[in-house]
Amino acid sequence: MLGHSDKVAIAVSGGKDSLALLYVLKKFFEEHNRTNLIAITIDEGIAGYREESLQIVRDFCSHIKVEYKISSYSQIFGTNMDDATENRPSDKMTSCSMCGTFRRRLMDIMAEEAGATVVATAHNLDDHLQTFLINLLSGDVERIGWMYPEPVQYGPNGIKKVKPFVEIYEHEIAFYALLRDIPFQSDQCPYMKESIRSDIREFLNNLESRHAGVKYNAFNTVTKISKALKESTMGSLTNSNECQICRRKSTQPICSVCGTLKVLINPQ
């Protein structure tokens, strides 16, 4: 997953998962006399929510002596989540889908600027299953193929994306964070209720409480399905073109980031 010379950028939100990942990787790097680790944090511009977690990230990174960078949607895209939610033409454009689109792009930009060769995100087993069911329910078959959890290289600089916690249950990470006295933000994003994700999370947790191990079984199934789908769509991904506006790699003439920004600037 990580080579000795890799520079690793960890996407840190200020929640328990990403701070636990930062803590674990920092310890691992220290044991191997490595310093090529950086935390990257995104300010989505959500008033009353993001300020607290930014402070937690600043304090924790200073405490464990890890370099960190913070960048915002406003700086890069000229808009933030509060404005985007206000200006969207319809509620069908959910805050979570706009935010996910912007977050993935900004993470790429920040990792490139930091000279990282690997981006590590703290997605856990529960996140992974929820994403699978969201893709399943929305008919997004191609994205199920993208979910196969192996390090993939992408973009002009060949950055690898890894998810070291993808086989770990969310509650085990929460328990670890509490045991290690890792401070984290427990408030949930105010836009979270717009997403079907919280309903799916509750559904899966109810199932797990009555049938222990069902989430892990489902994870293994999802891995097999996503692997088969990825292999069958590999050709179409390598033949992708570039976005006419930002010139980044895109399967469509205009990428999802530029498409979303266009709609937000000229809502009809």
Residue 18 contacts residue 53 (beta carbons within 8 Å): no
If the CB atoms of residues 76 and 245 are measured against Zn ion, the closer one turns out to be 245
Min dist. Cβ of residue 239 to Zn ion (A):
18
Locate all alpha helices (DSSP H) within 69-213, ordered by sequence.
73-77, 81-87, 95-113, 125-138, 141-146, 170-179, 197-210
Min dist. Cβ of residue 64 to Zn ion (A):
36
If the CB atoms of residues 64 and 246 are measured against Zn ion, the closer one turns out to be 246
Pair type for strands 67-72 and 8-11: unpaired
> d(Cα 64, Cα 20) in Å, to the nearest integer?
12
Min dist. Cβ of residue 244 to Zn ion (A):
7
If the CB atoms of residues 193 and 247 are measured against Zn ion, the closer one turns out to be 247
If the CB atoms of residues 122 and 243 are measured against Zn ion, the closer one turns out to be 243
Min dist. Cβ of residue 214 to Zn ion (A):
40
Q: How many Å separate Cα 262 from the centre of its chain?
A: 23
> d(Cα 108, Cα 221) in Å, to the nearest integer?
29
Per DSSP (E only), the strands in the chain are 8-11, 37-43, 67-72, 118-120, 152-154, 159-162, 241-242, 249-250
> d(Cα 44, Cα 79) in Å, to the nearest integer?
9
What tokens appear for 223 in the block? 């891995």
If the CB atoms of residues 41 and 250 are measured against Zn ion, the closer one turns out to be 250
- C-alpha distances out from residue 84 to 52, 176, 185, 265, Å: 21, 35, 24, 9
Min dist. Cβ of residue 243 to Zn ion (A):
3
Min dist. Cβ of residue 259 to Zn ion (A):
8
Residue showing tokens 């506006």: 245
- CA geometry: angle at 7 spanning 122 and 26, to 5°? 55
Q: What are phi and psi of 10, to 5 degrees?
A: -100, 125
If the CB atoms of residues 64 and 109 are measured against Zn ion, the closer one turns out to be 109
Min dist. Cβ of residue 241 to Zn ion (A):
11
Q: Which residues bind Zn ion (CB under 5 A)?
A: 243, 245-246, 255, 258
If the CB atoms of residues 114 and 261 are measured against Zn ion, the closer one turns out to be 261
